[in-house]
Every structure is written in C-alpha cells, then in structure tokens.
Amino acid sequence: MGMPVLVHAPGAPAAAVDAVFAWLHEVDARFSPFRPPSEVCRIDRGELSPADAHPDVRAVLARCERLRAETGGYFDARAGGRLDPCGLVKGWAVDRAGALLAAAGARRFVIDAGGDLLLRGGPWRVGVRHPRRADRLAAALELRDAAVATSGAYERGDHVLDPVGGGPARGALSVTVIGRELGAADAYATAAFAMGARGPAWTARLPGCEAMTVLDGDRVLCTAGFARHRLPLRSSDCAPG
Amino acid sequence: MRRALAALVVTVVVVGLLVRYETRPPARRNPESALRTPAPIRSPAPKARPHPPGSVTGRGPLVTTPFSSIQVQATVLHGKLIDVKTLSLTGDDTHTRALNARAEPILREEALRAGSADIDVVTGATYTSESWRDSLAAAIEAARVD
C-alpha cells in the first residue's frame, strides 16, 4: 500500500495492534499491484481468474465495479491501464483493521493511513491540510466515529487520473470527504477529485457523506452538513492562500 | 547519493512496509501554543531480535513538524535494508470543543483560508509519510556510513 500507517489506540491491547499490522501486511501481499506474486498482479496478467481469487479479492473487485458505476466512471480500478484497486483497498483494509481493534475492546482510536483517517470514539480534532501550504490548515473539524479522506494533487504530483477525460485530474486542488467508513470516503474523494469542477455538486448528493472541495482559484465549496463538523480556524496568517 | 537513497526509500515503501507507532499517551510541552511542538516520546526498547552479523544500524534525526515528531532506525546488511523501526512519535491530546451547528445551503462557497488550530491529526497531511521518509533516508545513510 506504500505508506506508513499510524495506529493511535490508547489502552488497546498490544496484541490487537499487532493483529492490525499483521492484517495490513496480509492485505498488501494479496492486493499489491507492485508485487508480482500478488493475486491482483496474477489477475492482471491473466494467470488467475477473479472467480478463483480469495473471497476478499472478489469482494473488493466487485465493490470497485459498483463504485465505478456510482461515480459515473470517475472511480476506476483500471484507470491507469492495469488493475490497481488501491483506491479502495486502503480504506477497506483500514475499516477491517478498525473492526479488529473494536472487537478487542478499543473504543477510541485513530488509524491514519497516509492522511486518510478512520476515527472511532472521540471527539477528535482533525485538521484539513491546506492544498498548497503544507504548514497550514484549510479547515479544522471535530469528528466522532467517522472516516475522513482527502484526495489532492500535492502528495505525489498529479497522481489521480481522470478515467473519463484522460490524463491527470484537473480543476480541483483537494477534496475532503467525511463519511462513516474509510473505504467509501476515500473512493468518493478520489472520484470527486477526478471530476474537477463538477465534483462539489456530485458530493452534495452523496448519502451519509459531507465534503469540502478546494477548486482552482482558491474557491472552496462545502456540502450542507460540512459546517456542522467545523471548528474555528485561527487566521494566524492573514495573507490569502 | 541522495537520489539513490530516495529511490531506495520508495522501493521500501512500495513493498508495503508499515510503521507502527507507539500508542502511549502523548505529552505536551506548551499547552497554549498554536501549533504545539510536543516533547519527543521515546518508545520502549524494541523487542530483542538480533540482527545478523555484519548488519549495520543507523538512526535518522528526530524530524519535527507542526503536528508530530518522528525518528526512524534502519538496519542495512550487505547493502540491503533489512529492518526499519519507528523510534518515537508525538501527538497532541484531545480537547473538547463545541460544535458549530448551523443551517447551510446545499453548497456553501467560501474563500480558501490558511490558518491553524489545535488538532489531533491531519487529513491530506503527508507530514507523517514525509517525515518518515526523511528520517528513514537519513537512517539508511547513517547505517552505511557507520
């Protein structure tokens, strides 16, 4: 999955945290598009029929297909030309990891997968990173029992592809989606980012989710319920952008 | 050298190395500071799992960001990275704030702001991964030079 994963679970049994990381390694071995022996790579090479794959792989690929339909093709596990379900796998795996912690009795924890967060218990105060200024926040949120994912162009350059129009996604600087589960929130953020200027209107129709989109020109569009989660932001630096 | 290290780090990250952060309660040095600079927390000594003879272990610097501090230890054997540990991490504790409940139109437009707040964690933030990579790169270098 290619990123450090942070688990902050005060009071959770160490064995439960170990189980989380064992699970994430298992997911990586099975789903990594960068490991030739992984089931995802074998399916991509035509060596493994999806029907014969591990039940988790079948479930994830089926959900990728549903997401592709839900997003009008803007979430596409084959956007780059080869099978790469990472856009769903990361959040899906973190949701499962959260279930492992909850089953072990943890009631209040954060799993941070490269800036996409699963939050249980709370309240947690969450900063939304400014899309162009790494040391500033564009918003601050108070969340409880939520997942929040941000898709942007700032991490690895233009890493989100526009599967519909082709080429790197344009028009949005970042999209932050709040939902209940990280799998959906992350996939929706990726899709809305790929939609560019049309993303905010799409996010406004997502059931159970709220979103904040920063568009080119520093316009910010938030869904109706997004403000419910907001905390005051100190303008320690009043210069725009 | 720097480029080679960056490439190595990318390789390491791509193979799915996952960092475990210690889950101890964080400490605060200055509760009033806007973006706090927490005191580093030293994790307990890593489990005794001896590295093979000939391996070299190096530590990266403690990399501090507005949101966290992180230090990475890397062990290299015959030019290959064989072990990575995260040695320290700090965060913030949690304070309760009142929710701002307001009725809003379907999409609300506003100007982009650049501010700060007391927070526990960042979405879209790559500080964690950036700090981790920086510290890992330095740790690998240290292991090679030692």
Residue A80 has pLDDT above 50, yes or no: yes
B87: in domain:
yes
Does any CB of chain A come closer than 8 Å to the CB of residue B14?
yes
B106: in domain:
no
Domain that holds residue A147: 5-231
A165: in domain:
yes
Residue A137 has pLDDT above 50, yes or no: yes
B108: in domain:
no
Chain A positions touching B106 (Cβ under 8 A) are: 204, 223-224
Measure the CA–CA gap between A44 and A50, rounded to whole angstroms: 10
A236: in domain:
no
B111: in domain:
no
Domain total of chain A:
1
B126: in domain:
yes
Chain A positions touching B137 (Cβ under 8 A) are: none
A90: in domain:
yes
pTM: predicted TM-score of the whole model, two decimal places: 0.70
Supply the pLDDT for residue A59. Answer: 97
Q: Tens of pLDDT along A38-56?
A: 999 999 999 999 999 999 9
Give the domain CATH number at A90: 3.10.520.10
Domain total of chain B:
1
Does any CB of chain A come closer than 8 Å to the CB of residue B91?
yes
A238: in domain:
no
**Which chain B residue has its CA at the smallest distance from A239's CA?**
B114
Average pLDDT score over residue span A196-221: 94
Supply the pLDDT for residue B26. Answer: 40
SS (H, E, C) chain B: CHHHHHHHHHHHHHCCCCCCCCCCCCCCCCCCCCCCCCCCCECCCCCCCCCCCCCEEEECCCEECCCCEEEEEEEEECCEEEEEEEEEEECCCCCCCCCCCCCCCCEEEEECCCEECCCCEEECCCHHHHHHHHHHHHHHHHHHHC
B132: in domain:
yes
Does any CB of chain B come closer than 8 Å to the CB of residue A235?
yes
Supply the pLDDT for residue A1. Answer: 44
Domain that holds residue B132: 2-93+118-145
Does any CB of chain B come closer than 8 Å to the CB of residue A221?
yes
Q: Do A237 and B115 touch (CB under 8 A)?
A: yes
Supply the pLDDT for residue B22. Answer: 33
Our CA angle for A151, A107, A109, nearest 5°, is 35
Residue A140 has pLDDT above 50, yes or no: yes
SS3 label, residue A2:
coil
B97 vs A2, A3, A231: nearest CB: A231
A239: in domain:
no
Q: Tens of pLDDT along B43-98?
A: 444 455 578 888 888 887 776 654 456 667 777 777 767 777 666 554 433 222 22
Taking the CA of residue A121 and the nearest CA in chain B, the distance in Å comes to 12
Taking the CA of residue B33 and the nearest CA in chain A, the distance in Å comes to 12
Which of A1, A5, A6, A202 to mutate to test binding with chain B, by most B CBs within 10 Å of its CB? A6
A124 vs B25, B35, B121: nearest CB: B121
A241: in domain:
no
What DSSP designation does A33 have? Answer: T
Is ipTM strictly over 0.95? no
- Give me A93's structure tokens: 């795996």
Which of B123, B128, B134 to mutate to test binding with chain A, by most A CBs within 10 Å of its CB? B123
Does any CB of chain A come closer than 8 Å to the CB of residue B115?
yes
A104: in domain:
yes
A237: in domain:
no
- The answer to whether A90 and A178 have CB atoms below 8 angstroms apart is no
B102: in domain:
no
Indicate the range of A126-140, B43-57, B114-128 predicted with least confidence.
B43-57
**pLDDT grade for A26, boundaries at 50, 70 and 90:** very high
Supply the pLDDT for residue B86. Answer: 65
